[in-house]
């Protein structure tokens, strides 16, 4: 489809008239098959972007388009079928009394027939590795399991875009890994667009593209490699960089010239290996 993208055109937003702007004249495009990570320190406006994308909030200025359709009060039901969201707190988005009921909730809202629901509950729970938990009650699940159910609930409605709004922030490292793995598998299988709003640097290095937000503006839009090459500037706006980036910077200071910014251990090691053999 030609219009498969989310587009922000000169979007400005504030919560109340007498409050400062949270987003200032923000424009960007996210196309339907990519993974975009949005980073920025707390209060940089990144969560607001997520809520604007599926009509939980409306901008005071500018327009937002999802697949060519302008997000407005009239179109939000269509938009919300296309854009699924997973939030931060695993408990506060679990609506059903059991896993099965929770996965069904979104489908019920969209008026899907019961037979389709039964089928989708099975396939989406399988996609996140939670089959066999249908009858479980939420308070018997771990945080990571609840988040996987939340992802299954979103998948069941079969959206084009999935937004993870700090969905791993409250999980332990094991739960975080599980979720990331789940999401990547799902994205690949179903050809989805993924927007992750995150503090997790490991997650950021794996994305196709990174948007760095600062004080309500898009500070930088680039590949992870490019973003992390600007270590000093990132620190100035309160963002951390991965260990490997820091090490690469110190290596440069120690007189080792690297051909490119390494994103993971292997890239740096390969480069060091080559360098040593040529020295």
Q: Give the Cα separation of 151 and 173 in Å (integer).
A: 18
Residue 56 binding other proteins, by CB under 8 A: yes
SS (H, E, C) 152-217: HHHHHCCCCEEEEECCCCCCCHHHHHHHHHHHHHHHHHHCCEEEEECCCHHHHHHCCEEEEEECCE
By CB under 8 A, name the one of 77, 123, 190, 226 that touches other proteins.
Answer: 77
By CB under 8 A, name the one of 49, 162, 239, 263 that touches other proteins.
Answer: 239
CB under 8 Å to 39, separation ≥6 — which residues? 46, 197, 198, 199, 204, 210, 211, 212, 213, 239
Residues 113-152 as x/- pattern, contact with other proteins by CB under 8 A: xx--xx--x---------------xxxx-xx---------
Do residues 56 and 164 make contact, with C-beta atoms less than 8 angstroms apart? no
- Compare residues 10 and 190 and give the one whose CB is closer to other proteins: 190
Compute and round to an integer the Cα radius of gyration of the chain: 20
Residue 43 binding other proteins, by CB under 8 A: yes
Do residues 195 and 53 make contact, with C-beta atoms less than 8 angstroms apart? yes
Residue 267 binding other proteins, by CB under 8 A: no
CB neighbourhood size of 240 (10 A): 14
Tell the smallest beta-carbon distance from residue 112 to other proteins (Å).
6
By CB under 8 A, name the one of 27, 109, 123, 189 that touches other proteins.
Answer: 109
By CB under 8 A, name the one of 32, 184, 220, 251 that touches other proteins.
Answer: 251
Report the site for other proteins in 179-238 (rule: CB under 8 A): 199, 201, 238
Q: Give the Cα separation of 269 and 202 in Å (integer).
A: 17
Residue 169 binding other proteins, by CB under 8 A: yes
Report the site for other proteins in 1-40 (rule: CB under 8 A): none
- Compare residues 19 and 279 and give the one whose CB is closer to other proteins: 279
Q: Give the Cα separation of 185 and 187 in Å (integer).
A: 5
Tell the smallest beta-carbon distance from residue 15 to other proteins (Å).
14
By CB under 8 A, name the one of 49, 71, 99, 107 that touches other proteins.
Answer: 107
Residue 73 binding other proteins, by CB under 8 A: no
By CB under 8 A, name the one of 25, 69, 170, 229 that touches other proteins.
Answer: 170
């Amino acid at each position: 489809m030609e219009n498969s993208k989310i587009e922000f055109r000169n979007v400005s937003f504030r919560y109340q008239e007498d409050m400062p702007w949270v987003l200032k004249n923000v424009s960007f495009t996210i196309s339907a098959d990519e993974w975009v990570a949005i980073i920025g320190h707390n209060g940089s406006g990144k969560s607001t972007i997520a809520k604007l994308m599926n009509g939980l909030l409306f901008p005071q200025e500018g327009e937002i388009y999802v697949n060519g359709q302008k997000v407005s009060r009239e179109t939000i039901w269509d938009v919300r079928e296309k854009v699924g969201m997973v939030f931060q707190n695993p408990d506060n988005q679990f609506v059903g009394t059991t896993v099965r009921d929770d996965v069904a909730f979104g489908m019920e809202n969209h008026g899907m027939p019961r037979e389709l629901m039964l089928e989708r509950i099975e396939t989406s729970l399988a996609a996140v590795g939670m089959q066999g938990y249908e009858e479980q009650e939420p308070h018997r699940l771990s945080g990571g399991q609840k988040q996987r159910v939340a992802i299954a609930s979103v998948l069941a409605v079969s959206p084009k875009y999935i937004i993870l709004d700090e969905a791993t922030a409250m999980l332990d490292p094991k739960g975080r890994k599980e979720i990331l793995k789940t999401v990547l598998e799902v994205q690949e299988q179903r050809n989805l667009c993924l927007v992750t709003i995150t503090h997790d640097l490991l997650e950021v290095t794996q994305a196709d593209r990174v948007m760095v937000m600062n004080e309500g503006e898009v500070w930088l839009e680039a590949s992870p490699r490019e973003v992390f090459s600007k270590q000093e500037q990132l620190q100035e706006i309160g963002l951390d960089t991965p260990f490997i980036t820091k090490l690469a910077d110190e290596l440069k200071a120690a007189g080792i010239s690297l051909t490119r910014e390494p994103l993971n251990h292997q890239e740096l090691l390969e480069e060091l290996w080559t360098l040593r053999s040529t020295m």
